[in-house]
Structure formats: structure tokens, C-alpha cells
């Protein structure tokens, strides 16, 4: 650098006359600190690299799993419940598709539960409890259904809140909602479905299900829940951060539930429903040859559609606070005194035991005294000379008081038991009632008291402690009508039993060794009830030999009620059972018309069902119609009178 002027000595210059602005040139002053920076750079490099080492080399599996959890969502593919068909294959219960909301438990943040519950109008506590149980019992990757049947506003809430930033744990899925007939048609037979409750999950019956599952709660839906439910499938999808599906990784299809075919005949069911419209009571129609339930009605009914998914509390309150208890299946759960419909059993007992000898008869003067008490006949002026046929046809109480008194309670109870009273028929519906057949043993067992002979008198006309269900009545009388063969009533068509292992077919028929002549005598009496001026004339049909029996059952002693307000509320229950044809009957129908006052008012209900049966049969067979254009039957004298 010879061309350049010699460098001034800066230090000297500063000392001599320090300039205001000097750009100092000695860069070595900071050499040490620059070296520090070099080490700092190295330190940062190591610091950062170690951070990556920790994540990528030390624990990559942990983060790979997290990435997979982000990416892959596993959704259940809900299996549709099996349909329910009537005996002709007509659909009674169908499904329709709707949206359900799933909660992905892997991604769930517990504090999101409250806003989600609020957004969907769910109870937070309920939801939290459900979640807790789910966590205990099911693997984490399984999502939980928290709401079915999403409304438009629910859908809007879900769509706008399920991105990664808000509530990514919400997932939509297609589900199937139960579609029941309107107006509560066959509601008690079918039952209803609803979300399985906490309490139910603790029971053996529902232990195999998981929270959020929709299960049968009553009727066929409950009885055959395992068959109807099917098996949920699963879908694995790749989603993006907005929860949008990008790729389907795998699908395990759902196995739909089995379609059930019932023995119910919708044609008969509708007729029975209409006959009971606005009334309280029940109708049961059986085919006594095989035990198939052709129709079963209980009124008042409920709308099972309201239960599908999640019932609104208002609807639930309305149903449960109804004093008539619409949820009660009266056909199998109403246990009431059968009244005079019980008389054929007493008659049979008399014949079989020989107590009712040929020529046995009474002279009815409107009542009789037994054990110091006067028992009235329903006909004030009496029936006069009465033997068995007239006793049944006119339903003479004095005849049966006398017969019952001679039989004694235990022989009556024996034949009542033989006919199927006092025990479950074994129908494939939950919660069937047994009814009560009193006996000396029964009284000692239940009351620790001896039986008083006077009590037998009431039981002989179907009163007192005796109670039966409408189904038992149809079952018992069907057995008598077919010569002592009681086919177990059932609702599932026979062909359903064979291919399915986990359905138990009905128990074999019970048979009793009864004398045919005795049965014919009783059945002749029942024929007379309808066709020979008896109390059941209203059940008469032209072309079909209908047999039957009325019953007017008191809820309490009329005398006791006379001066009370309850007297009106506790009107007599009207009963009627009928079967046809007289020889080789094909249908037996029992009707209970609560507070119907007179048994003969229940008779038309039975007649309508029997008529519908034979009308249909004649339409289906090439024979000319039996009942078409036939002149209206004229009721016999006294036919309209109450028994």
C-alpha cells in the first residue's frame, strides 16, 4: 500500500484533539466477544438439533400415533334394526334414515362437553355420566353416539363447530330411526325403542350393549332386541383439520338386524283397534290350533314414534301421568275378575268331577242363600228352572253358585289351573301377568287364613279373588274349544324359529285328558249364549257358528258403592270371549271393555274381529263368500239383556 498515506495513529489523534465524530477502525477490540458469538451459534445449533432429536429420534412413535389419531377417524356404521312384518309380510315397523351425532372420545376435550351439550340441547350431567361409563367399558377409538335424529338446527350447529379449532370431536353419521304406525296401532305388541339407560346397562339383559345404543324397551322390540339389533360396522376415514372426510381407508359393513315376521294379521288388528277406539280395555285374538296371536290391542295406546331415539320429557310426563296408564299392555297385564266368562270352567269342573250329574238343575228365583248370606242373581226375577245349557246361555248366577258350592274352591281352582289361569301363558312378550286363582292353599300361603266356603260362591261366577288377563281368557277358552289342547300363544311366526339359534320356540302345547262329551256340553252352552237367545246375541254372525260368553265383572260390591262418588268411576267391566266355528275353531277372541258395564257390550268387539277373519278367509278361498249380503241376524229374546 505504498500509494496510500501513512495511517494516522488514532489513539494519538484522539488524545490531541478528539473529533466529534470518529469512526473507529480497530475491529479487534471485540474479537473475544465475536468468538463468544461463534460458540453461541454452535450452542443454538445444538439446542435446536437436540429438540428435533428428542421428537424425531427419541420418541417418534408417540408422535406418529398422535398424527395417525389426527388423521384417522373411526366411525361406527350403525346397523339398521330389523323390520317388523305382519303375518302376510306387510310392514308394520320400518326405518327411515336420519343423522346422529358421534363424539370422538380420542379427541374429546372434557371442557368442550358443556358447550356441545348446550348447542344440542342435551343434559350435561347425563352426557358426562354416559361418557364416563363409555370410558370404562369401551376402547378409546370407538366414538359414542350422543344424539340421534338431528334437527336442522342441530346439523347447523355441528357443521359450524366441528373444525379443528372448535369442537373437532363432533362427527356426523347416518343412522336409522324407527318408524312406527300412526295412532298407536299395535303399539303394545311392538313396544318401542329408546336409548339404553344407565340403569339398564347394569342389568344382565342389556349388559352387552353400550351407552348410546338404541334398544327395545317394551314389546317385541324388547323381547327380540338381540335379533332386531344387528351388528354395527365401522368405517375408517382420513380427515383433514376441518373434520372433512378426505379418504376412506376401510369399511366394515354393518350387519342389519333381522326382519321379524309376526303372527299378527294387520287386517284383524285394524278391526280390533277400531272396535276399541275411545275405549279402555284390550282385545286378544288367537288361532287356537297353533297359538298364533292374530291381533292384540290395548287401549289407551301410546305413540311409539315419540320414544324413538330420545323421548321429550314433556311427552314422557304426559304418558306416565295419564291415570289410564297407556303404557300398560292390558292384554297381558290387566288382572281383573273375569265375571261370568269364567263360568264355562266351573261347568267343566262340574262335569269332569261328576258333581254336575245329568239332570242337575236349580230353580232360580233371583237369588239364593249360602252360609247365611243372600247372593243375588243378575236377573232380578230369576231364571226359573235352570240346567247347564240354560245356565250358560242366560248366565244364571244361582246355577253356578250352587254348582260352585258343591264343587268347593279347590276343584274349581284345579280346573282353572288346567285351563291356564293363574299362570303365565308364556307369550313372547315381556312382563306378562299371572292373574290369580284362589284356593285354600293360596289363601293360607298369602293370608295365613283358612278359606271360607262362602268365598267359593263368588269365585264360581268369576268374582272374588279370581283375576285373569284377556290373553289368559282367550288362551283358556281356545284350549277348551279345541278339545283340551292349549297351544302356547306366541307372536313370532313359526318359520322365524328354524333358522335362528338364539330364539326359543314356544313351549309345547299342554294337553288335558278331558271327556269329549263334557266339552261338547259346555261348548253347546256357549253356542246357545250367542245363537239361542243367550246373553251374547250381539256376537252372532250369519254363516259362522260363533260360540262365546259374556261377563260383567264388578270391581267392588255394588251395594258398597251405591252412595259413593266412586260408584260412577268404578263401573262394571264388560268381558266377552268368542270362538268360531263351533266345531274345529280357527279363531278365539277375548275382549275386555273396562267400565263397559254390560258383557254384551263387549260382544260386538269380538264379533267384528271374528267377522273380519272369516271375511278375509272367504276372499282368499274360491268358495262363495259366507257372510256377504246375508240378512242381519235377529237377536233372540233376552239377547240384549244384561246377564
Partner 1 sequence: MINYRSSRDLDWPLLVLALAISGLGILQIYSATAGTIWGDTWWKQMLFVVAGLAAMHVIARIDYHRLLEAAPALYLGGLALLLAVLLFGRQVFGSQRWIPLPGGFTFQISEFVKLILILLAARYLSELRGDRPTLRDLWKLGALVALPMALVMKQPDLGTSLTYAAIGGAGVFFAGLRWQHAVALALLFVLVLPVGWTLLKDYQKARLISFLNPGSDPLGSGYQVIQSKIAVGSGGMWGKGVARGSQTQLRFLPVAHTDFIFSAFAEEHGFVGVAVVLTLYFLLLMQIVQNAQSAPDRAGMYVCMGVGALLLFHLLVNVGMLVGRMIVTGVPLPLMSYGGSSVLTVFMMLGLVNNVRLQRFVN
Three-state DSSP class for residue 471: helix
| Residue 3 or 152 with smaller CB distance to partner 1 | 3
Query: If 0-12 CB within 10 Å is exposed, 13-18 middle and 19+ buried, where does residue 462 land?
Result: buried
State in angstroms the smallest separation of the CB of 119 from partner 1. Answer: 16
| Residue 243 or 304 with smaller CB distance to partner 1 | 243
| Residue 34 or 566 with smaller CB distance to partner 1 | 34
State in angstroms the smallest separation of the CB of 121 from partner 1. Answer: 23
For residue 352, what is its C-alpha cell? Answer: 269332569
State in angstroms the smallest separation of the CB of 156 from partner 1. Answer: 21
Q: Which of 104, 340, 439, 458 is catalytic?
A: 340
Please choose, from the candidates 40, 20, 22, 44, the residue with its C-alpha nearest in 3D space to the C-alpha of residue 32: 40
| Residue 22 or 91 with smaller CB distance to partner 1 | 22
State in angstroms the smallest separation of the CB of 38 from partner 1. Answer: 6
Query: Cell 363424539 identifies what position?
Result: 103
- Tell me if residue 175 is catalytic: no
What is the largest distance, in Å, between two alpha-carbon atoms of the chain?
Answer: 163
| Residue 74 or 269 with smaller CB distance to partner 1 | 74
Which stretches of the chain bind partner 1, using CB under 8 A? 1, 4, 18, 21-27, 29-31, 33-34, 37-38, 40-42, 44-45, 47-49, 51-57, 59-60, 62-64, 66-68, 70-71, 109, 164-166, 168, 238-242, 246
Distance CA 285, CA 588 (A): 6
Question: C-alpha angle 49/55/60, rounded to 5°?
Answer: 135
State in angstroms the smallest separation of the CB of 164 from partner 1. Answer: 7
State in angstroms the smallest separation of the CB of 249 from partner 1. Answer: 12
For residue 461, what is its C-alpha cell? Answer: 261366577
Residues with Cβ within 8 Å of residue 174, at least 6 apart in sequence: 78, 97, 98, 99, 100
Distance CA 341, CA 603 (A): 12
| Residue 110 or 374 with smaller CB distance to partner 1 | 110
Distance CA 183, CA 172 (A): 31
Distance CA 404, CA 418 (A): 17
State in angstroms the smallest separation of the CB of 14 from partner 1. Answer: 8
Q: Is 278 left (phi over 0), alpha (psi -120 to 50) or beta?
A: left
State in angstroms the smallest separation of the CB of 235 from partner 1. Answer: 17
Three-state DSSP class for residue 468: strand
Query: If 0-12 CB within 10 Å is exposed, 13-18 middle and 19+ buried, where does residue 505 land?
Result: middle
State in angstroms the smallest separation of the CB of 24 from partner 1. Answer: 5
Distance CA 311, CA 300 (A): 19
| Contact (CB, 8 A) for 460 and 398 | no
State in angstroms the smallest separation of the CB of 153 from partner 1. Answer: 24
Question: C-alpha angle 149/152/158, rounded to 5°?
Answer: 85
Distance CA 458, CA 526 (A): 21
Distance CA 516, CA 291 (A): 21
For residue 131, what is its C-alpha cell? Answer: 361418557
| Residue 162 or 390 with smaller CB distance to partner 1 | 162
Computed on alpha carbons and rounded to an integer, the radius of gyration of the chain in Å comes to 40
| Residue 166 or 414 with smaller CB distance to partner 1 | 166
Residues with Cβ within 8 Å of residue 42, at least 6 apart in sequence: none
Q: What b/e string do you get for 518-537 counting C-beta neighbours within 10 Å, with b at 16 or more?
A: bbebbbbbbbbbbbbbbbbb
| Contact (CB, 8 A) for 195 and 309 | yes
Distance CA 449, CA 446 (A): 8
| Residue 109 or 441 with smaller CB distance to partner 1 | 109
| Residue 47 or 371 with smaller CB distance to partner 1 | 47
Write down the number of H helices and E strands in the chain.
24, 21
| Residue 52 or 371 with smaller CB distance to partner 1 | 52
State in angstroms the smallest separation of the CB of 28 from partner 1. Answer: 9
Query: Cell 246355577 identifies what position?
Result: 399
Residues with Cβ within 8 Å of residue 492, at least 6 apart in sequence: 220, 224, 260, 261, 262, 263, 428, 503
Distance CA 108, CA 170 (A): 9
Cα atoms in the 13 Å half-sphere on the side-chain side of 203: 8
| Residue 164 or 564 with smaller CB distance to partner 1 | 164
State in angstroms the smallest separation of the CB of 174 from partner 1. Answer: 23
Positions marked catalytic: 340
Amino acid at each position: 500500500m505504498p500509494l496510500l498515506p501513512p495511517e494516522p495513529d488514532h489513539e494519538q489523534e484522539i488524545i490531541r484533539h478528539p473529533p466529534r465524530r470518529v469512526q473507529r477502525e480497530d475491529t479487534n477490540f471485540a474479537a473475544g466477544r465475536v468468538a463468544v458469538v461463534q460458540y453461541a451459534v454452535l450452542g443454538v445449533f445444538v439446542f435446536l438439533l437436540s429438540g428435533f432429536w428428542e421428537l424425531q429420534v427419541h420418541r417418534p412413535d408417540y408422535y406418529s400415533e398422535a398424527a395417525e389419531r389426527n388423521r384417522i377417524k373411526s366411525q361406527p356404521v350403525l346397523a339398521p334394526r330389523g323390520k317388523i312384518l305382519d303375518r302376510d309380510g306387510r310392514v308394520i315397523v320400518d326405518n327411515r334414515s336420519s343423522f346422529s351425532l358421534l363424539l370422538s372420545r380420542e379427541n374429546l376435550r372434557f371442557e368442550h362437553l358443556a358447550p356441545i351439550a348446550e348447542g344440542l340441547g342435551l343434559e350435561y350431567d347425563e352426557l358426562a355420566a354416559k361418557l364416563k361409563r363409555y370410558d370404562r367399558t369401551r376402547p378409546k377409538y370407538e366414538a359414542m353416539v350422543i344424539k340421534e335424529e338431528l334437527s336442522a338446527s342441530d346439523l347447523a350447529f355441528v357443521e359450524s363447530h366441528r373444525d379443528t379449532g372448535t369442537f373437532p370431536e363432533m362427527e356426523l353419521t347416518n343412522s336409522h330411526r324407527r318408524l312406527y304406525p300412526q295412532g298407536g296401532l299395535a303399539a303394545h305388541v311392538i313396544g318401542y325403542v329408546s336409548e339404553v339407560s344407565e340403569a339398564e346397562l347394569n342389568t344382565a339383559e342389556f349388559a352387552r350393549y353400550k351407552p348410546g345404543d338404541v334398544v327395545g324397551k317394551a314389546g317385541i322390540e324388547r323381547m327380540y332386541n338381540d335379533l332386531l339389533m344387528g351388528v354395527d360396522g365401522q368405517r375408517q376415514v382420513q380427515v383433514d383439520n376441518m373434520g372433512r372426510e378426505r379418504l376412506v381407508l376401510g369399511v366394515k359393513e354393518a350387519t342389519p338386524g333381522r326382519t321379524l315376521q309376526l303372527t299378527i294379521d294387520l287386517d284383524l288388528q285394524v278391526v280390533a283397534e277400531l272396535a276399541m277406539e275411545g275405549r279402555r280395555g284390550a282385545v286378544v285374538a288367537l288361532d287356537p290350533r297353533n297359538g298364533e296371536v292374530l291381533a292384540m290391542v290395548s287401549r289407551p295406546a301410546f305413540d311409539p314414534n315419540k320414544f324413538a331415539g330420545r323421548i321429550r320429557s314433556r311427552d314422557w310426563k304426559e304418558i306416565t301421568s295419564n291415570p289410564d296408564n297407556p303404557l300398560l299392555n292390558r292384554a297381558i297385564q290387566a288382572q281383573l275378575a273375569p265375571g261370568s266368562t269364567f263360568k264355562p270352567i266351573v261347568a267343566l269342573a262340574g262335569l269332569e268331577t261328576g258333581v254336575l250329574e245329568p239332570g242337575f238343575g236349580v230353580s232360580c228365583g233371583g237369588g239364593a242363600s249360602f252360609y247365611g248370606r243372600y247372593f243375588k242373581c243378575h236377573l232380578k226375577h230369576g231364571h226359573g228352572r235352570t240346567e247347564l245349557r240354560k245356565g250358560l246361555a242366560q248366565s244364571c248366577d244361582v246355577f253356578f253358585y250352587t254348582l260352585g258350592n258343591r264343587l268347593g274352591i279347590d276343584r274349581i281352582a284345579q280346573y282353572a289351573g288346567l285351563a291356564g289361569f293363574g299362570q303365565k301363558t308364556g307369550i313372547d312378550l315381556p312382563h306378562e301377568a299371572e292373574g290369580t286363582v284362589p284356593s285354600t292353599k293360596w289363601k293360607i300361603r298369602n293370608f295365613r287364613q283358612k278359606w271360607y266356603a262362602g268365598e267359593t260362591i263368588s269365585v264360581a261366577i268369576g268374582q272374588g279373588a279370581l283375576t285373569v288377563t284377556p290373553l289368559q281368557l282367550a288362551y283358556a277358552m281356545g284350549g277348551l274349544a279345541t278339545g283340551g289342547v292349549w297351544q302356547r300363544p306366541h307372536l313370532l311366526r313359526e318359520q322365524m324359529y328354524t333358522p335362528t339359534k338364539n330364539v326359543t320356540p314356544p313351549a309345547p302345547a299342554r294337553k288335558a285328558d278331558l271327556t269329549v262329551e263334557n266339552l261338547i256340553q259346555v261348548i253347546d252352552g256357549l253356542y246357545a249364549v250367542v245363537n239361542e237367545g243367550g246373553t251374547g246375541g250381539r256376537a252372532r254372525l250369519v254363516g259362522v257358528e260363533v260360540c262365546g260368553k259374556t261377563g260383567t265383572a264388578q270391581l267392588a260390591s255394588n251395594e258398597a258403592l251405591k252412595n259413593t262418588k266412586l260408584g260412577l268411576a268404578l263401573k262394571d267391566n264388560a268381558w266377552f270371549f268368542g270362538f268360531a266355528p263351533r266345531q274345529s275353531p280357527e279363531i278365539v277372541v277375548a275382549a275386555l271393555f273396562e267400565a263397559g258395564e254390560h258383557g254384551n257390550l263387549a260382544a260386538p268387539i269380538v264379533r267384528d274381529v271374528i267377522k273380519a277373519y272369516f271375511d278375509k278367509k272367504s276372499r282368499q278361498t274360491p268358495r262363495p263368500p259366507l257372510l256377504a249380503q246375508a240378512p242381519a241376524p235377529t237377536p233372540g229374546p233376552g239377547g240384549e239383556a244384561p246377564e
